[in-house]
């Protein structure tokens, strides 16, 4: 039997999602507690990687079990034994061949940028005090939907089989408190891709690049042309759809 876990986590204390030897990771932490509660080694498979310091307001993973699981009770117990920066939203049974990673049709990331220093958002937003032209940032972001090859925003030595992604939405919105929220959706993302895109769009907003320059950067398929990646703290995996 296969079970999906829906969860959230603050990534500040972790070296990303994926299990690593001798490093704190979200996957490793959940597997340790889940195995303890079930009294049998239990591996989980996630919807995808998130890098060191990246958060998830919605994440999906799955595990297999030879015996029936009381989903509500297991979710309750997991929340009791997991650290405060990981929360289980629900656990439910799915078809035996449904896969948290390979069956995901679309993923959504959200990035938060705040112009004001806020000690309560230091792990959930990028403090960036320079004035930005949001209209130009959105004009540039719209160009992302016209391309498929995002080599210019792909981390080197990531062993990607392909750098092709299909972006369906990319837009900045200014919230009432001045926070800028960037939302991007695609069928898949490359390592460091969203942070590299955000960093380059911010450089459009501050006047370092024009919208035409941004389009040239995409078309160049050259990572050295894009800006430094935005800090991990402002990035959230915010949705996974199946």
Strand-strand pairing, 106-114 and 180-186: antiparallel
**Active-site residue, selected from the candidate residues 10, 51, 64, 135:** 51
Count CB neighbours of 74 within 10 A. Answer: 18
135 is catalytic: no
Rounded distance, CA 60 to CA 71, Å?
15
Which candidate, 56, 44, 63, 43, places its Cα nearest to that of 16?
Answer: 56
Beta partners for 186? Answer: 107, 167
Which candidate, 164, 170, 166, 158, places its Cα nearest to that of 197?
Answer: 170
Beta partners for 149? Answer: 164
Structure tokens at 143: 């160009």
Question: What are the backbone dihedrals phi and psi of residue 134, each rounded to the nearest 5 degrees, phi first?
Answer: -65, -35
Place of tokens 């969860």: 7
Rounded distance, CA 210 to CA 195, Å?
19
Catalytic residues: 51
């Amino acid at each position: 039997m296969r079970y999906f876990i829906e969860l959230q986590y603050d990534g500040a204390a972790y070296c990303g999602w994926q299990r690593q030897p001798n490093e704190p990771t979200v996957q490793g932490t959940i597997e340790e507690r889940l195995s303890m509660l079930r009294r049998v080694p239990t591996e989980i498979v996630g919807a995808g990687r998130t890098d060191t310091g990246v958060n998830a307001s919605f994440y999906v993973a799955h595990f297999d079990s030879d015996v029936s699981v009381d989903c509500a009770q297991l979710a309750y117990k997991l929340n009791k034994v997991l650290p405060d920066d990981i929360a289980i939203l629900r656990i439910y049974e799915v078809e035996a061949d449904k896969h948290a990673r390979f069956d995901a049709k679309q993923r959504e990331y959200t990035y938060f940028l705040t112009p004001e220093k806020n000690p309560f958002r230091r792990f959930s937003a990028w403090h960036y005090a320079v004035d930005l032209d949001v209209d130009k940032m959105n004009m540039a972001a719209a160009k992302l939907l016209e391309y498929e090859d995002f080599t210019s925003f792909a981390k080197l030595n990531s062993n990607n089989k392909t750098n092709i992604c299909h972006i369906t939405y990319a837009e900045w919105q200014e919230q009432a408190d001045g926070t800028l929220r960037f939302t991007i959706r695609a069928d898949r993302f490359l390592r460091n891709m969203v942070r590299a895109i955000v960093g380059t769009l911010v450089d459009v907003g501050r006047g370092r690049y024009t919208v035409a320059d941004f389009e040239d950067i995409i078309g160049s398929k050259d990572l050295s042309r894009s800006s430094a990646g935005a800090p991990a703290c402002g990035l959230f995996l915010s949705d996974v759809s199946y």
